[in-house]
Amino acid sequence: MIWHIFKKDWRLMGPYAAGLAGLHFSLMAALLRIGRFRAAPISSWIGPGGIAPLEADHTLYTLTNVFPILSYLATALLIAVIVQQDAIPGVRQDWLVRPIRRRDLFLAKLVAVLVMALAPIFAADLLGALLNGFPPGQSMDAALGRSIWLWFSLFLVVFALASLTKNLMEAVVGATALTGAYFVLQAWRSYNPTAQMFFVHGQVDWIDRLIRLGIVCIGAAVLLSLQYALRKTFVSRLLMVGFFLLLLLVPSVPWQTAFALEERLSKNPADGNAVTISFVRDRATPEDRPVGPLPYDRSDASVMLPVRAMGVPDGAILYGESSTARIITQDGQTQMNEGQARLQMGIPTRGGERPDSGKPFTYVLRVPRGLYSRIADQPVRLEIDYYLTLLKVADTQTLPALGGDQRSRDLGWCGTKVSDAGGELLVGCVSAAAPPGCASMVLEYKPTGAQNPPNGICVRPDYSPFPRGFGPDALNRFTERLPFGNPTGVDQYPVKEPMLPESQVKVTMYQAEDHFERELTIPQIRLREWVAAE
Amino acid sequence: MGEPGKTVGGKSQMIRVNNLWKRFRRHEALRGLTFGVTEGSAFALIGANGAGKTTTIKVLMNIVGPTRGDVNVMGVDSRSISPRELSRIGYVSESQDLPGRLTVEQYLDYLRPFYPQWDRELEASTLGLLHLPLRRRIGDLSHGMRMKMALACALPFRPKLLILDEPFSGLDPLVRDEFMESLIQQAGEMTVLISSHELSEIDHFATHVGFLDEGRLLFSETMAELTERFREVRVTLEQPAAEPDPLPKDWLCVRAVGSVVSFIDTRFSEDALGERIRSLLNGVRSIDAQPMALRSIFTTLARSLRDGMA
């Protein structure tokens, strides 16, 4: 029976599915044509000559940005139409009076969605990976991984929502209403301090996303079961609204809880044991610019605390995920606690700086102006919890600065070239494996060892075991720009264009080894002595 | 009418409905329906628009569930109808959604595997009788053609029970004839439940009739009993006539024009009619009592109900 229903759906939707498959394969071909260098066509710098000219592959680049959106929309539409060929709601459907088991109908629809919607994506992904020269096993893993991700994060939801609607019009109206509600509630959440914790704190939000993905999948499974087993459309629609609200309104996992879980998942939990954070009392108030996000309330007082991290192994990076601070006055009252922690964000390390180099860095403590006025001259106790990640070098690769072309296990297939606009070197990689969570690239002149400023130091290390978004295919691509001076000669770099033939790009990849917390206690401090100029 | 759950005249009941209620929000669509359809009979469910005919059929097919009451179809509670029962039930409805992008041929190809009893020869002969264009898409068929196709899909597996919901609406006379011809050729082997406004078409086909009004079943009886008890009576008097007062309850549509009084007798008895008329009217010159077609009976009842007379 499953086969007969599928055959009927194939007859009805086959041409549309074939057209959509064509779109997937066209996208694959466009990505193949672009190759390793898939960078925004406009250079990042704007010099006296204005914006740099477009890259040669501008059209292809634009297509590879537009095609995925089109293909996701068209696939969602295809799934909805497949399901609605034998819609569950309503009393006029032909299947209701035919000897068709509901379980068979569900399985037939499942097969149809897998074959017509997902299989072409999988096939295009697999072919794309193979044509990019990745081994069959790695190509299969990448294609399968993306298909599984798409299934659970997108297609299953569309399948479930389509089962609640009779026709495309209902589906489009429903989807529009949900999308509108989503943005309204997201906007509301963005003003909610609890929800904001994940926006401003560290990289462990994947735990929260995983929980929400779980809610989505459970919700979809419940709706599909109700619809196909019992045809309870009204109840299912109510439940759908319930799941939707649950998804958006339930507070995020407390950030500390998420980090505690991340700590348990540390690859080498003892690696950070030697790391200590201390207050550098004998140092004058630093003059350097405070690091970290801008305060929400610009009237906050910025207390600049020199802090030093010790015990960081050579070559490792200490990444500050977040911090919370408590100010305790002499009478033992906690005047500020972690509930206000969004204002105490600070990053104890910065790109390129070795925390153990002996140079203290500035930790910015943002204190509400009213509180600061009251306690500025009092001796107070300060307790700061730091949430830290230790990243160690996982692999190092070098590529010739010009015409580099090599493959490696961690980075995939990489190449180097001077951008069409000139003034910068493009380092482009395509990888069938997960990209490194953290990597840095530096342009080095081999004869002298002179280096330009590094690029890509752990701006946003990612510990997530699943993708963050929906890419155009199963391969991971990243293109970094290493400037060596723009054509107008305004910028000056140690490594210049004439030196490129004898230069190389050093790529260092880091891997998170340990996630841990450190508490810094300053028993007595007067905040006014450390505050930034008012 | 037999009680649900019992056999009638040695024949089992294909459909048994007992105290069936169906509510859609605040609207009571069905109010305590009780009737049975005996195996081999052709039961016509008649009633005005909104009387509850289609709702009754949808409950029978488990397309919608009953609010209250018991419905048994082919020995199974309607809420538990399984593919096994559905493989022996043919269903044709004017409001059925069909896959418009399939051709007639493709649709038949799709349906065949679901019905183990499907008879290809019967399919061919039915298709020949109904003159269906096999290669045309269902969506391109006229309404009449679609109805014929629905019938062509309902007959080849020789259903034990055929349910037809307003099958004639919107069909021209030629298509109706073709439809009925196909139906009648098969009718002897199956039980038929038909709801229709087109009473002239089922007049000679139905063996039983149930009359629904605002969700209530006003009567359910054999066609023979019904036509036997309804007569259009015309009484000619010797002097100008007046309506009898009080009017007998079983006389409907009573009119007096000149010296003629006409009415519909709903409890006709040939032996008693003359005596009864003479007791109510003076100077009776002649009495003419004509049998009525189902359509006339229906319109009489419907008008009387509308005017609050029945």
Of A8, A97, A99, the CB nearest to B110: A8
Distance from CA of B101 to the nearest CA of A (A): 6
Give pLDDT tens digits for B53-96.
Answer: 999 999 999 999 999 999 999 999 999 999 999 999 999 998 88
Contact B63 A100 (CB under 8 A): no
Of A4, A7, A92, the CB nearest to B96: A92
Between A391 and A202, name the one with better pLDDT.
A391
> Any idea which of A527-531, B107-111, B117-121 has the lowest mean pLDDT?
A527-531
pLDDT at A37: 82
Contact A97 B99 (CB under 8 A): no
Q: Is the peptide bond before B244 cis (omega within 30 degrees of 0)?
A: no
Contact A12 B115 (CB under 8 A): no
Contact B83 A92 (CB under 8 A): no
Q: Is B131 on the interface with A (CB under 8 A)?
A: no
Contact B63 A96 (CB under 8 A): yes
pLDDT at B309: 56
Contact A85 B99 (CB under 8 A): yes
Distance from CA of A89 to the nearest CA of B (A): 10
- The CA-CA-CA angle for residues A30, A35, A121, to 5°, reads 50
Look at residue A23 and give its three-state secondary structure: helix
Which residues of chain A does B63 touch, with a Cβ-Cβ cutoff of 8 Å? 91, 96-97
Contact A94 B98 (CB under 8 A): yes
Look at residue B67 and give its three-state secondary structure: coil
Of B63, B106, B115, the CB nearest to A91: B63
Which residues of chain A does B91 touch, with a Cβ-Cβ cutoff of 8 Å? 97
Are B289 and B232 in contact by the 8 Å Cβ rule? The answer is yes
Q: Does position A201 have pLDDT exceeding 80, yes or no?
A: no
Between A200 and A322, name the one with better pLDDT.
A322
* Token pair listed for A116: 């017509």
Integer Cα distance of A431 and A409 in angstroms? 9
Which chain A residue lies closest to B87 (C-alpha atoms)? Answer: A99
pLDDT at A350: 39
Longest Cα–Cα distance in chain B: 72
pLDDT at B53: 93
Which chain A residue lies closest to B86 (C-alpha atoms)? Answer: A99
Between A34 and A29, name the one with better pLDDT.
A29
pLDDT at A47: 37
Of A12, A92, A99, the CB nearest to B97: A92
pLDDT at A291: 45
Distance from CA of B57 to the nearest CA of A (A): 11
Give pLDDT tens digits for A403-413.
Answer: 899 998 878 89
Contact B101 A91 (CB under 8 A): no
Distance from CA of B221 to the nearest CA of A (A): 28
Give pLDDT tens digits for B126-181.
Answer: 888 888 899 999 999 998 889 889 988 998 999 999 999 988 877 778 877 777 77
Mean of pLDDT over chain A: 82
Of B64, B83, B95, the CB nearest to A99: B83
**Banded pLDDT at B310 (limits 50, 70, 90):** low
Distance from CA of B272 to the nearest CA of A (A): 49
Integer Cα distance of B287 and B40 in angstroms? 38
Average pLDDT over residues A481-493: 75
Q: Does position A71 have pLDDT exceeding 60, yes or no?
A: yes
Q: Does position A354 have pLDDT exceeding 50, yes or no?
A: no
How many Cβ contacts (< 8 angstroms) between chains A and B?
54
How many helices and strands in chain A, by DSSP H and E?
Answer: 12, 15
Which chain B residue lies closest to A15 (C-alpha atoms)? Answer: B101
Are B276 and B261 in contact by the 8 Å Cβ rule? The answer is no
pLDDT at B187: 65
User: Phi and psi dihedrals of B4, rounded to 5?
Assistant: -60, 140
Mutation choice for B interface testing from A7, A96, A102 by most B CBs within 10 A: A96
Contact B99 A92 (CB under 8 A): no
**Banded pLDDT at A488 (limits 50, 70, 90):** low
Which residues of chain B does A97 touch, with a Cβ-Cβ cutoff of 8 Å? 61, 63, 86, 89, 91, 93, 96
CB-based contacts of A327, cutoff 8 Å, min separation 6: A334, A335, A336, A367, A371, A375, A380, A381, A382, A527
Running DSSP on this structure, what letter comes out for residue A53?
P
Contact B84 A85 (CB under 8 A): no
Listed in order, strand segments (DSSP E) in A68-193 are none
Q: Does position B4 have pLDDT exceeding 70, yes or no?
A: no
Q: Is B116 on the interface with A (CB under 8 A)?
A: no
Percent share of chain B, pLDDT over 70: 95
* Nearest C-alpha neighbor of A115 from the set A13, A192, A40: A13
CB-based contacts of B88, cutoff 8 Å, min separation 6: B74, B117, B157, B159, B160, B161
Integer Cα distance of A441 and A436 in angstroms? 12
* Run of H or E including B181: helix B173-187
Q: Is B102 on the interface with A (CB under 8 A)?
A: yes
| Most confident segment among A32-41, A236-245, A489-498 | A236-245
Which chain A residue lies closest to B58 (C-alpha atoms)? Answer: A91
Integer Cα distance of B129 and B148 in angstroms? 10
Q: Does position B198 have pLDDT exceeding 80, yes or no?
A: no
- The CA-CA-CA angle for residues A88, A92, A98, to 5°, reads 75
Instruction: Write the CA distances from B83 to A100, B77, B91, B158, B235, integer angstroms.
Output: 6, 13, 13, 15, 57
Residue with tokens 């993905």: A213
**Banded pLDDT at B188 (limits 50, 70, 90):** low
pLDDT at A48: 37
Q: Is B101 on the interface with A (CB under 8 A)?
A: yes
Distance from CA of B120 to the nearest CA of A (A): 18
Of A12, A97, A98, the CB nearest to B102: A12
**Banded pLDDT at A356 (limits 50, 70, 90):** very low
* Token pair listed for B109: 């190809």
Q: Does position A301 have pLDDT exceeding 90, yes or no?
A: no
* Run of H or E including A156: helix A156-162
Q: Is B114 on the interface with A (CB under 8 A)?
A: yes
**Banded pLDDT at A55 (limits 50, 70, 90):** low
Give pLDDT tens digits for B12-35.
Answer: 889 999 999 999 988 999 999 999
Give pLDDT tens digits for A123-174.
Answer: 999 999 999 999 999 999 999 999 999 999 999 999 999 999 999 899 999 9
Which residues of chain B does A93 touch, with a Cβ-Cβ cutoff of 8 Å? 97
pLDDT at A133: 93
Q: Does position A46 have pLDDT exceeding 60, yes or no?
A: no
Q: Does position A288 have pLDDT exceeding 50, yes or no?
A: no
Q: Does position B295 have pLDDT exceeding 90, yes or no?
A: no
Contact A12 B99 (CB under 8 A): yes
Q: How would you class A158 by CB atoms within 10 Å of its CB: exposed for 0-12, middle for 13-18, buried for 19 or more?
A: buried
List A478's β-bridge partners, or say none: A429
Alpha-helix residue ranges (DSSP H) falling in A202-286: 205-225, 233-249, 255-264
Mutation choice for A interface testing from B64, B73, B97 by most A CBs within 10 A: B97
Which residues of chain B does A90 touch, with a Cβ-Cβ cutoff of 8 Å? 97
List A481's β-bridge partners, or say none: A426
Which residues of chain B does A82 touch, with a Cβ-Cβ cutoff of 8 Å? none
pTM: 0.84
Look at residue A70 and give its three-state secondary structure: helix
pLDDT at A290: 46
* Token pair listed for A407: 């493959």
CB-based contacts of A96, cutoff 8 Å, min separation 6: B61, B62, B63
Which chain A residue lies closest to B99 (C-alpha atoms)? Answer: A85
Contact B83 A100 (CB under 8 A): yes
Which chain B residue lies closest to A102 (C-alpha atoms)? Answer: B83
Distance from CA of B40 to the nearest CA of A (A): 21
Q: Does position A349 have pLDDT exceeding 70, yes or no?
A: no
Q: What radius of gyration, in Å, describes the C-alpha atoms of chain A?
A: 27
Look at residue A233 and give its three-state secondary structure: helix
pLDDT at B9: 60
pLDDT at B8: 58
| Most confident segment among A95-109, A464-478, B258-272 | A95-109
**Banded pLDDT at A96 (limits 50, 70, 90):** very high
The residues on A that touch B, with CB distances below 8 Å, are 1, 4, 7-8, 11-12, 85, 90-94, 96-101
Mutation choice for A interface testing from B85, B110, B135 by most A CBs within 10 A: B110
Percent share of chain A, pLDDT over 70: 83
Contact B102 A8 (CB under 8 A): yes
Which residues of chain B does A8 touch, with a Cβ-Cβ cutoff of 8 Å? 99, 102, 106, 110
Integer Cα distance of A344 and A363 in angstroms? 9
Are B129 and A127 in contact by the 8 Å Cβ rule? The answer is no
